[in-house]
Structure 1
Amino acid sequence: MRNLLLISCLIVLLMILSSCRYDNSDKAELESSETVLIQNETIEEKLIDIQIEKKSLSRDLDSLLEEEDITLMIKEDDFLYMSATKDFTSMILAILKGKRQPVYKDKNLNQHHLKLKFDGYEEIYVNLDYNSFWFKGESELYNLPWRLDEPFRQQWDRVIIKVINNKAHYDSFEKTIIQQNQSVDLDYDGQSDPIILYYDGRVRLRVGKEVETMTEWLAENKIRADDDGNRYNGMFKTIVSENGRGLLYVDGPMEWNQSYRLQYYTYDQNDGLERVWDGDEPDENKVVNYDGDTIAIAFNNGDLQMEINLTDEEKAEVDDYIEYHKENGLDLLTDDWLHNKGGIRGYNIIDIDDDGEEELISYKYMVSGAIGLSCQLLSVYGFTNEELILENVIANPDMDFVEECLSQHIYNHSIQVN
């Protein structure tokens, strides 16, 4: 009897335990189902976020080209996406800025060699063979002009990838040294300041650790061209005198630019490399007197003046202009007068006044704006540590004198590429 009672108790206990296991199994299954549901909801939310992000990606190229601080990822052919450095990103943007007006893309043109992924913008596909690019999903494409189509294709074979913080980055292009000087002390610290003019897709001027971009984008074949009309003719001249030390950068002319670009730079430990004068910008001037026959124009706040003799036709134009201004309550003498037209046509560095110091001579074609008067202007500048100082101006100089000044070149314009 006692054994029967014990067996009955065991059967009841087993039933209870079995019921508990079943309840725990159901509970585990329910919790597992809830976890899957939550995970599915999370994945769905992420998919929605991705879809929203895709919808918000911009295809506004003009807006992109105005960006100054934007990240870029680049995918080349079948390789993985890699980041681009800030400088490399700005170089790519400079290329894209050379675009022509958009045209409809041939439906058969789907091949691309590069993908450019700017933060916040749809992918840009680049075809290096046709020198064109377009936004993903767009029917319009942009071609690069003839001066830019060659370097984009050529330069990509010279790309340099650098490891930064354990990650590979598109960093720069191989450099070609155009000109260098390792023996000039520009900042008076008793040590030479290495100066290098080099090409890496752009033309750069480096002094010490300071780098200035001189030409935004240039085809590699322009650096190595055999004829002067097609070859890049940029160079620098170091200025070392009792009055100051600096660098004069000279660029041009080329087939599409028949003028010179002149810029003067100073260098010191505090301000680094600084452009203090640009020949494309006219020296500040204004009309200070008109006597019916000549116009007097003042430079340097009146410290320097010159006179332009007028023809009868020019006198009539000036008189009409003055009368118009008076009727409208304006004053001729308040207007800036002379402006550059067509850039600097000639230059030289010579001691023009026999004072033992070289001066910069520039020859420009100037116009007077509204009236349309014009004159040739020969300007003489003195070099200092801080600026170029305008020392003399001659309006409509004798051309024999101009040719004499500009022919005494102490400097060969052709460049040896190292």
Structure 2
Amino acid sequence: MAARVEKFVRNVIVPYEKDARRDSHGAPTEELVMEMRHKAREAGVMTPHIRPDGHHLTQRETALVLINSGLSPIGPVACNTAAPDEGNMYLMGHVASPALKMRFLEPIASGEARSAFFMTEPASENGAGSDPSMMKTTCRRDGDDWVINGRKAFITGAIGAKVGIVMAAAEEGACMFLVDLPNPAIRLDELPHTIDNAMPGGHGTFTIDNLRVPAEQMLGEAGEGFKYAQVRLSPARLSHCMRWLGACKRAHEIATDYACQREAFGKLLVDHEGVGFMLAENLIDLKQAELMIDWCAAVLDSGSLATVESSMTKVAVSEALMRIADRCVQVMGGTGVTQNTVVEQVFREIRAFRIYDGPTEVHKWSLAKKIKRDWKAM
């Protein structure tokens, strides 16, 4: 399957990188997304990390597939392995009831619908971000419904999505709800331009105004929202690492081709130590990132939530991939900062990835707290 995905992305999706069908933020339009997904179905690589019987591949198997889907920044969108859908499918697969899976999960898994995860809140209002316990969005029981009020920010893919997972705080604790989108009670306030644009639907800010959700659409149990968030976020951090490793492998290939053909000062660029050594360092970082991903995937496959391992991997891989992307731009000089190749976009996307699902500093802080706890327990 990984080989099929690689062939599909390289031969079918890479040419779409120059397709002009983009929204005002540079992301693929719904028309383009659905056209690519039609071709993915024909090639047998739609949602390739989920087997026909509905079972998810192991995390180590998933890594092989998702790395290859990431060989193009729009490959994950085409193959339905992109965030936030991939993480939302994983969460629903583990927590949702059979009825909710049929109604909300199946359209996403088939590639017919996109989804959004409404957790993060505006920093200007001191809402939940890297610290979800600061959640300001509330939910209260009203008869057979729950009523939700609050604001959410940086909600990836919400524009054009058909399914939403909304997280809110109740007296019992955090809760999650599945909702149909669009919904008049969820109003777009702002759709900012961001440094990345591979994922359709942007990263919008929304006001949730008296959103009524039937009680049967609660995801799991009341008060268990933070636990479910960990079920989703640990594998999701790792999935980000997988996809963007694929993108950096491709950027390295492009930079290598450039360095092995471009001449300066009487010899090929690759023969200058300053350039050749950067490519050598890329190989080292690529291999280390691959090994970290495989290690964390194995821990997840053992049944652990792997919160510590996923934090370590998120830090190590995101920082390594940033170095790789930066070197690729540098090796290619002026060409590297143009849109003539995908290297420039990979650089921008990786910069944003260092913030997705917890910035590097938050994960280091979490790891430092564990070090202190372990020391006290000695």
In which range does the TM-score fall when normalised by the shorter chain?
Answer: under 0.3
- Give the helix-richer structure, 1 or 2: 2
Tell which has more relative contact order, 1 or 2 (C-alpha 8 A, sep 6+): 2
Instruction: Compute the TM-score of the two structures, normalised by the length of structure 1.
Output: 0.21
Of Structure 1 and Structure 2, which has the larger fraction of its residues in strand? 1
Determine which structure has more spread, i.e. the larger CA radius of gyration.
1
Q: TM-score, normalised by structure 2?
A: 0.23
